[in-house]
């Protein structure tokens, strides 16, 4: 059975604009929580931000992703919980083509991808843990869309805001985002001033 929750908007447009002004490594000076580390990225130089649409897969069943893409809009980031399956790739060329048509900001796969040659040419960055020729199948068994999931020890909920770049992935916490964001922005400004002094 497929469970579909409602998408949420947790942050205003101005708050989201502020989040996109900072790098994950700058945020990392102020907290240890909320990071995914060690993920590969298909697009060098990536720096993106977006609202989260969550997907949970089980039993090597990739069919919930078809429905999940219908729930997305331009600028969203799809976060996929594969229930620990790093053998069966749930994301490849044709889902990436669909993501391009929608205008997704990024895809985060807590598992494997395939068709890596195409993914590396796409305008939609994909963050992933492994590459596999084995793929999920359309089994229509069970899955969840826009429900809380866990990827890499981080809980993601629909409407969360994520920034992602070559250094890592960070999910803002509604409890303390203001304090962390303000500190990170001040540090970004100080670092930019230092760069100017060094040139």
pLDDT score for 49? 98
pLDDT-derived band at 196 (thresholds 50, 70, 90) equals confident
The pLDDT of 2-20, averaged and rounded, is: 93
Quick check: 60 and 85 in contact, CB under 8 A?
yes
- pLDDT exceeds cutoff 90 at 11: yes
Query: Could you read off the pLDDT of 35-94 as tens digits, one per residue?
Result: 999 999 999 999 999 999 999 999 899 999 999 999 999 999 999 999 999 999 999 999
Q: Which residues of 12-31 are buried (b: 16+ CB within 10 A; e: fewer)?
A: eeeebebbeebbbebbbeeb
Q: Is the dihedral of CA 135, 146, 128, 154 positive or negative?
A: negative
Quick one: tokens of 146?
Answer: 């826009």
Domains of the chain: 2-193 (3.50.30.40)
- pLDDT exceeds cutoff 80 at 199: no
pLDDT score for 91? 98
Could you give the angle at which helices 93-102 and 63-70 cross, rounded to 10 degrees?
10
């Amino acid at each position: 059975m497929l469970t579909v929750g409602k998408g949420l908007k947790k942050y205003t447009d101005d708050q989201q604009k502020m989040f996109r002004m900072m790098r994950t490594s700058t945020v990392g000076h102020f907290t240890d929580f909320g990071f995914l580390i060690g993920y590969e990225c298909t697009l060098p130089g990536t720096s993106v931000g977006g609202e989260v649409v969550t997907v949970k897969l089980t039993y090597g069943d990739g069919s919930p992703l078809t429905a999940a893409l219908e729930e997305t809009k331009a600028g969203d980031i799809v976060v996929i919980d594969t229930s620990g399956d790093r053998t069966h790739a749930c994301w490849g060329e044709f889902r990436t083509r669909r993501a391009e048509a929608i205008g997704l900001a990024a895809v985060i796969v807590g598992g494997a991808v395939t068709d890596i040659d195409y993914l590396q040419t796409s305008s939609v960055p994909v963050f992933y843990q492994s590459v596999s020729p084995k793929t999920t199948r359309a089994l229509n068994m069970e899955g969840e869309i826009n429900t809380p999931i866990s990827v890499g020890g981080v809980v993601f909920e629909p409407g969360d805001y994520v920034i992602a770049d070559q250094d890592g992935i960070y999910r803002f916490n509604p409890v303390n985002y203001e304090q962390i964001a303000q500190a990170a922005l001040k540090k970004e400004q100080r670092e930019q001033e230092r760069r100017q002094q060094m040139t």
